[in-house]
Amino acid sequence: MADTTDVEQQSAPEPVTLHGCPLVVAFGQQVLFVPRDQYTKVVKALLADSYEMCADLTAVDYLQVPQRNVPVGVVAERFEVVVNLLSLKERRRIRVRVQVPESDPTIPTLFDMYPGSEAMEREVYDMFGIVFTDHPDLSRILMPEDWDGFPLRKDYEVGRIPVQFKGAPN
């Protein structure tokens, strides 16, 4: 007969972490939840771990899904910056997710570590209004410079843009 006190004393398994951040597996891929204030430090550590390529950098606006699932200890914010890093040498991939509050939509740039992230960060700025501090040229890349608003925010009003065809009368 099993001793019930042993079962009662067993606790939940320790959460898995990498560089001090919660690490989960979602759809077969490692996902690292990094606090915004540790973003560059952790990404530098991942670069040292041979994640030499930034394959993608984007953002998500969770305005309509505020109660989504995040690991224990992670506070879900309206915006999330998502970075996919690859280790070509070791054939590994990791997704980095960083919560960015609506009240202060800023995050440091990865340009110094991954120069190829320059255009991707500009696109996130242009579409979501998330500012990448110390970015070398944080300007609009898809929308005209004088465009008002950020089209991929969930609270951006749907509008109509007149299309002008070459050679057609106004």
Q: What's the predicted TM-score (pTM) here?
A: 0.86
Contact 110, 40 (CB under 8 A): yes
pLDDT reported for residue 18: 97
User: Going by DSSP bridges, is the β-strand pair 79-87/92-100 parallel, antiparallel, or unpaired?
Assistant: antiparallel
How much of the chain, in percent, has pLDDT values that exceed 90?
Answer: 80
pLDDT reported for residue 66: 87
Please report the domains of the chain, with CATH numbers, ordered by start residue: 14-133 (3.30.460.80)
Q: Which of 4-8, 27-31, 57-61 has the lowest mean pLDDT?
A: 4-8
How much of the chain, in percent, has pLDDT values that exceed 70?
Answer: 89
Tell whether the model's pLDDT for residue 162 goes beyond 70: no
Distance CA 80, CA 87 (A): 23
